[in-house]
A and B are shown apart, each in its own frame.
Chain A
Amino acid sequence: MDDPNLVARTEVSAPPEKERVWPAGRLEAMPIRKLPDAPPSIHLLGPTVFLVALGVGMGEAYMWPRLVLLFGPDIRWLFLIGVTLQAVVMLEMARYAMATGESIFFGAARVFKPIMWFFFIVAMAVYIWPGHLSAGAAALERITGIPWTVSACVGLVLVGILFSLAKVIYNLLENLLSILIGLLVVSTAVVAAMVGTWQDLVTTVTGMFQFGYLPADALSATWFPVIVGSIAFAGPSGMQQMWYTLHLRDSGAGMGSHIPKVRGLRHAGKEEEMPSRGFMFDTSDPTEMAKWKGWRRWVTFDALLLFWGITMLVTISFTVLAQAANRESPNVKALIESGEREAALNGMSDAFASAGGPVLGAVFLGFIALIGLNATLGLFDSFSRGQADMTYHFVRGAKRFGMSRLYAGFLWGVITFGIVILLWGPAKGPGAILDVLAFLSTFAMGAYCVVLLLVNNRMLPKPIRPKLITNIVVGLGAVFYLGMLFYSLIRFGVVVD
């Protein structure tokens, strides 16, 4: 295949040959290259699978069904706002990544390098702890009897080996996650069809439109931080949206087609040289702008049907299940209200078992294990990808290792640390800094909304900058996340729960 960099190189007739570039911020300018043709807008396979795998997690399976049982289905309007906001954020993350082939971290560095280092440190602080493995592995223990630390450690090593042997990590993971998410969606639909009722579904769906509903209990020191945490966990949480820009690039979307893919450690020697910056297309050319519109349609379909649709579908199904369990076994509410997460998950499983037989209890735990597996696969890849990207471009001397080796270094580093902590340390992080980690995770979401506004409005050429309404929505997102976080902190002295 022709090197797209050569094919797209701007022709200049007079010597010396001078390349056209797009200057963005204080870093190296982006050379102008051709934008590839967009695929058909209606599609099913693509990088959104990563965001769905990361996003459909504890928020959808546990936190929101729990809130519905405690406050009624009308509380779900907050979920609708949270997920819709995330769909807009996803489209804006995609705008920068598809226009430049750079990650949003690189974009942040173009605005002001310390912003990027802030995200590098947050990722290290928040995502290095293996606590996210505990819920899925504990659910597996309840089904199979295998101690959760054993399955978690074995799982960690298997993930490391799998990613190290892969020729192109993106392709392997997209295939794997597609099958797992497909199974999750099909199975939740079948189970919801077997145990739910028309009334459960109607109250769940209409509850999403009861804007402004907040019962008095919800505004208490006990529950407000839980609600803030649940909003932050509606769809992708923490830095997951930022990592999506790396998956989008590796899938070859937009100008990402000019950037080589990250390879597994075994095939790292075959890696092509990673350019030191991204590329821009000629926004003054109507043909290029027509292709750009095609790419925007493609990613909009992803955001609306695949991301928003599947996230909504799974959470509606789980809420219907929770309502069915509560109807059959009214003590489920007390169990969920009082318990820790694992205790409450077991409580929900028991309630499902009493509502629909032991099958349903096991199915619920199976879903939690499956969600845990998806999140683990996605998180380990994403964390390593993000840290490797920032290290490669912004740590002096790191380029000689190559992107794939840096990726492997971070991957095996987080796996080794995870195993050590699982065996001898606090899985979720030291108790003294848990609040700080929870704060940073939610703060990062407000912060990336601000970064998006800066990057997309200052680093992109005018014709492809976001419209005013989009800027307003993203700005409201920053106010929404940061406002609720600080309100909770100042009013109740608690961050998020």
Chain B
Amino acid sequence: MDIREAQWKETLPGAAVGLAAGVVAGGLAALVGQPLSWALVTMLALGVPLGLLGGTLGLLVASGLLPRGRFAPVALFWLVGFPLARLIHEIAVSLVLTGQVRLPSDLAGFLAYQGLVSMGWAIGFLWLHERIALRMRTSAATTSR
């Protein structure tokens, strides 16, 4: 396996955790009888940005730009990334539901709040990421043997 392929594989756990968050939110929306379109918007508008950012984080770690297994760099990454993903989600939902692009009424307060919540997201993300990544590395090592 060449280095590029190995780096791409490192993006998978982060992308999977991000997408899973969107799927959980959208899936629950569908389960309780929300219109399918609404559930899909929630799933995509939240899951795709979080998945892309999660994958990017994995790539940064694999390429050595961020240290592996540390909490602080991950928390800092999501301090910026999580509010951004939530902003995209809010805009996308308002666009689909009302046909207009609407920003949250108190944008600064919104971003600050999302920034604080991002700490919690970062802990959960790293927890799940490490578990999935470990499993992938173990299975890859078993296969290569």
Contact = CB atoms under 8 A, between A and B. Distances in A.
Interface of A: 40, 42-45, 143, 175, 178-179, 181-194, 196-198, 201, 305, 309-310, 313, 316-317, 357-359, 361-363, 366
B131 A317 contact: no
Given A178-B127, A201-B113, A187 B86 contact: no
Interface in B10-65: 17, 20-21, 24-25, 28-29, 31-34, 46
Interface of B: 17, 20-21, 24-25, 28-29, 31-34, 46, 69-71, 82, 86, 106, 109-110, 112-114, 116-121, 123-128, 130-131, 134
Q: Is the interface of A mostly helix, strand, loop or mixed?
A: helix
A359 B120 contact: no
Contacts of B21: 186-187, 190
Contact of A362 (B32, B117, B125): B32
A189 B25 CA distance: 12
Contacts of A186: 17, 20-21, 24, 121, 124-125, 128
11 contacts: A44-B130, A179-B128, A185-B120, A186-B20, A190-B46, A191-B25, A193-B117, A194-B25, A309-B123, A358-B32, A361-B32
A185 B120 CA distance: 7
A185 B117 contact: no
B128 A182 contact: yes
Tell which of A188, A193, A305, A317 has the most Cβ of chain B within 10 Å.
A193
B124 A193 contact: no
A447 B145 CA distance: 52
Contacts of B25: 190-191, 194, 359
A188 B113 contact: no
A43 B127 CA distance: 10
Contacts of A197: 109, 113
A190 B32 contact: no
A429 B123 CA distance: 38
B121 A42 contact: no
Nearest to A316: B120
B20 to A, nearest CB: 8
B113 A196 contact: yes
Tell which of B24, B125, B134 has the most Cβ of chain A within 10 Å.
B24
Contacts of B124: 182-189
Tell which of A175, A182, A188 has the most Cβ of chain B within 10 Å.
A182
A143 B127 CA distance: 27
Nearest to B113: A198
Nearest to B106: A198
Contacts of B113: 193, 196-198, 201
Nearest to B18: A186
Given A186-B121, A192-B117, A309-B123, A366 B28 contact: yes
B28 to A, nearest CB: 5
B130 A45 contact: yes
Contact of A192 (B70, B71, B110, B120): B120
Contacts of B32: 357-359, 361-362
A311 B7 CA distance: 34
Given A178-B127, A182-B128, A198-B116, 7 more contacts: A44-B127, A183-B20, A186-B24, A187-B124, A192-B117, A198-B110, A198-B113
Given A182-B131, A185-B123, A363 B117 contact: no
A305 B71 CA distance: 10
A113 B130 CA distance: 42
Contact of B82 (A182, A193, A305): A193
